[in-house]
Structure 1
């Protein structure tokens, strides 16, 4: 049977028409570079201005992030970024000293933030696991998370999923946007690697 051009019988039913391939959320995780800092700053400042996930009230500056980047580089602590296939930084995670006294040198505090629209897709778990792995390779023994007790349920769930347990709470230690805020402390014991090695790029698709 032949159809003439324009014959409506040539139009396939909707369920038989080729469907566009769904967008696949993909990313790679690698050590941060100096050129990533403006993107890291914007991700963090989004939460400073729009949430109580961080108790910072002042937007951070590029010099602030350059100083933090230099300090973590000097200490050899991991600072990771998640990058989209287009090269855009969509999240970051870092480990910083827990306290200034030398006896705390095997304990770090983690910090992890995802850009708008990047949550709920497995990126947070991948970033935090990469950070844990990097710290274990460096011989770190404990990782601590300090999380707001308000509007940060996703962060608490993420840390619990990766083996963190609640270690305590402090109420009304912060005040932001006209409300009193507390903090939740979570911790995870790490398994330090006997062999120190550099952490390389990690990809996920």
Structure 2
């Protein structure tokens, strides 16, 4: 196995990111989208997040091919949620089981803590999606709830599992409003 490098995502990565995401849409429950968005939509989503200084990273193989990507975005749009982020991690099918997800989650946690966010929420499609659940548990996320039968995909009802991890000082101190990490407001 060649070395895996992590770096900030760039707009030029969107074709590979769109391919990975399309596979997830069409074959899994990590996302409840039913139709894969095209590259134009994916670039719009990328620009929205990066313009607001949310971290967006890719994992690359030794030859530069993208093995997976991860980003943090707002958990909810209302201002009181501004200290919480939701993570998203997608791995190319051929890269699954190689530790790419762990590398991406670790980096995303580092970047979000450094930016001053206080909570990370994982919204997992499927309370039986064990690879994602185990990945998050490995990094200290704990289950906080299940929305039962909240999605319908592939001819069946699917739960939504919520997991949470405090970042930095979490809720043990008040945040400094002057150092708000994002630009949502």
TM-score, length of structure 2 as denominator length: 0.88
Q: CA RMSD in A?
A: 1.5
Which of 53, 64, 76 is residue 30 of structure 2 equivalent to? 53
Alignment check: 8 A CA contact 2:25 2:36 kept: yes
> How far apart, in 2, do the equivalents of 1:120 and 1:73 lie?
28
Does residue 122 of structure 1 match 2:99?
yes
Does residue 141 of structure 1 match 2:109?
no
Structure 2 partner of 1:98 = 75
Q: Which runs of 4+ in 1 moved over 3 A?
A: none
Alignment check: 8 A CA contact 1:52 1:151 kept: no
Cα deviation code 1:11-30 (max 9, x no counterpart): xxxxxxxxxxxxx2321000
Alignment check: 8 A CA contact 2:86 2:121 kept: yes
Question: Structure 1 145/43 Cα, relative in aligned 2: closer, same or farther at 3 Å?
Answer: same
Structure 1 partner of 2:5 = 28
Does residue 76 of structure 1 match 2:53?
yes
| Structure 2 residue ranges without an equivalent (≥5) | 170-175, 180-185
TM-score, length of structure 1 as denominator length: 0.80
Kindly tell me the number of residue pairs found equivalent between the two proteins. Answer: 171
